[in-house]
Amino acid sequence: MGGELPVTFDLDSFEAVTRQLMTAESEREICEIAMSGISSVFDLPLGALWLYDSDATELQLAASTERADEVFDWPVTYRPGNSLSWEAFEQDEVRTYSELDSERSQYNKNSPVSSEIILPLAEYGVINIGSLTPVTFDDEAVRLAQMYATHVQAALQKAEREHDLRVQRDRMEQFIGVVSHDLRNPLHVVEGRIELVRETGDLSHLDDAAEGVARMESLINDLLTLAKEGYAVEDRTAISLDAIVEQTWEMARTADATLKIEGSAPVFGDQNRLKQVFENLFQNAADHAGEDVTVWVGPLVDSGAAEIDRADERTEGRVIGFYVADDGPGIPSDKLNDLLSVDALSGSDSGLGLSIVAQIIDAHGWDIAVTESRAGGARFEVTDGTKPVSPFHSW
């Protein structure tokens, strides 16, 4: 311990980094700025920042210093009980270590790091700053390091608020687009048919008017769903695919449609949001394929993700998602790319229904694609994605 040197720091560099942090606009930019300042502020070579993924219950590496990239075999992921960093994050407590090799709960027992300070960022994650040679973190160094972490945390909070405001603004613009376009069309139908009734006395025109009213009611319900609930994924649990499909089918307005469940598997998601997904997909099938449409639902497996031809046939391989297919007319190839865009809320025959599906799937971190079913209709495939499931990930 006698050979350890105290950590030095540069206040001018500290002020320069904090100014950059408060003008940063994205999570990625904030993390990179925070790491680029480690060597100049603290004169230490090693630094890394981990962000917390609440869905996976783990700290995921977001940025690191150049020297850390050379020394360590990235990426390193911290989970409950596997590291000193997780302990500091979980207890929201700054930890300093002058002799890491004497600690029992290191992530890597053979780590070349000699000394380290671990700085929690509240619910956002942790910053680790370290040295390959023994150093000491005196009270002043710890205080400055805490201030550094506080500025990083404040920048992340600011970016998160701005991100949420952008989402709200974009959603409002989407609402305006829907109201001005999708609601106007059926309203014109209603007005036109009522005028024909007045002119001709033929009450059969009221049937078309009633359909226009029903269309407006459906669009308004979709708008209310978005306004009240948004796309947030909250309570993710293991849900039986066949059970949630059967429950949703009973609630959907499917008239004389036929449901065929072709196998089951656990789906880890938000039950209320998944019901919205299935209800909208079922309604889409009925709207475009007719009231007597046949709908198939089943799990996707990694061995080619082929459909199952019989309900009692067992699947082999890892389940990677599920599909919903129908025997309707299918979807023109020139509309496939835009049909499930999370940004295309208005201006399509499907209105909000499929856009809501795309948004909820995206919020789960999954992927959705549409192809042709075995009967020539539409087939929607939902698979495990690689996107982050946290609601705030701007990178």
Q: Whole domain around residue 210: which residue ranges? A: 182-229
Token representation of residue 371 = 């192809």
Express each pLDDT in 185-194 by its tens digit. Answer: 678 888 888 9
Residue 24, domain member (yes or no)? yes
Q: pTM for the full model?
A: 0.55
Cis amide leading into 75 (omega within 30): yes
What's the CATH code of the domain at 269? 3.30.565.10
124 and 273 share a domain?
no
User: Has residue 108 got a pLDDT over 80?
Assistant: no
31 and 156 share a domain?
yes
Token representation of residue 372 = 């042709």
94 and 18 share a domain?
yes
Per-residue pLDDT band at 228 (split at 50, 70, 90): low
Residue 297, domain member (yes or no)? yes
Q: What is the pLDDT of residue 94?
A: 94
13 and 156 share a domain?
yes
What is the helix (H) or strand (E) element at residue 354, kind and residue range?
helix 353-363
Q: What is the DSSP string of 69-128?
A: HHHS-S--EE-TTS-HHHHHHHHT--EEES-GGG-S--S-TT----EEEEEE-TTSEEEE
Quote the mean pLDDT of the chain: 81
Phi, psi of 202 (to 5 degrees): -85, 105
- Using the 8-state DSSP alphabet, how is residue 378 labeled? E
113 and 208 share a domain?
no
Residue 175, domain member (yes or no)? no
126 and 209 share a domain?
no
User: Has residue 294 got a pLDDT over 80?
Assistant: yes
113 and 22 share a domain?
yes
Contact 86, 78 (CB under 8 A): yes
Residue 168, domain member (yes or no)? no
User: Can you tell me the distance from the alpha carbon of 243 to that of 261, in angstroms, rounded to the nearest whole number?
Assistant: 10
Residue 329, domain member (yes or no)? yes
Q: What is the pLDDT of residue 20?
A: 94
Q: How many percent of the chain have pLDDT more than 70?
A: 77
Express each pLDDT in 164-221 by its tens digit. Answer: 888 777 767 766 665 666 677 678 888 888 999 999 999 988 888 888 787 777 767 7
261 and 190 share a domain?
no
Q: Helices 205-229 and 139-181: crossing angle, nearest 10°?
A: 170
Per-residue pLDDT band at 120 (split at 50, 70, 90): very high
Q: Which residues pair with 47 in a beta bridge?
A: 129
User: Has residue 236 got a pLDDT over 90?
Assistant: no
57 and 206 share a domain?
no
Q: What is the pLDDT of residue 335?
A: 66
User: How many residues are present in the chain?
Assistant: 395
Express each pLDDT in 127-161 by its tens digit. Answer: 999 999 888 888 999 999 999 999 999 999 999 88
The count of structural domains within the chain is: 3
Cα dist from 2 to 99, 111, 132, whole Å? 12, 22, 16
What is the helix (H) or strand (E) element at residue 253, kind and residue range?
none
Q: What is the pLDDT of residue 348?
A: 47
Secondary structure of residue 264 in the 3-state scheme: coil
User: Has residue 310 got a pLDDT over 50?
Assistant: no
Token representation of residue 159 = 């970016």
Contact 95, 114 (CB under 8 A): no
45 and 94 share a domain?
yes
Given 163, 190, 219, which residue is the final one in a domain?
A: 163
User: Can you tell me the distance from the alpha carbon of 55 to that of 236, in angstroms, rounded to the nearest whole number?
Assistant: 8
Express each pLDDT in 80-90 by its tens digit. Answer: 988 899 999 99
Q: How many percent of the chain have pLDDT more than 90?
A: 35
Per-residue pLDDT band at 315 (split at 50, 70, 90): very low
Express each pLDDT in 57-88 by its tens digit. Answer: 899 999 999 999 999 887 889 999 888 999 99
Token representation of residue 364 = 């789960």
* Burial class, 284, CB count within 10 angstroms (exposed 0-12 / middle 13-18 / buried 19+): buried
Q: What is the pLDDT of residue 290?
A: 77
Token representation of residue 158 = 């600011």
State mean pLDDT over 278-293: 83
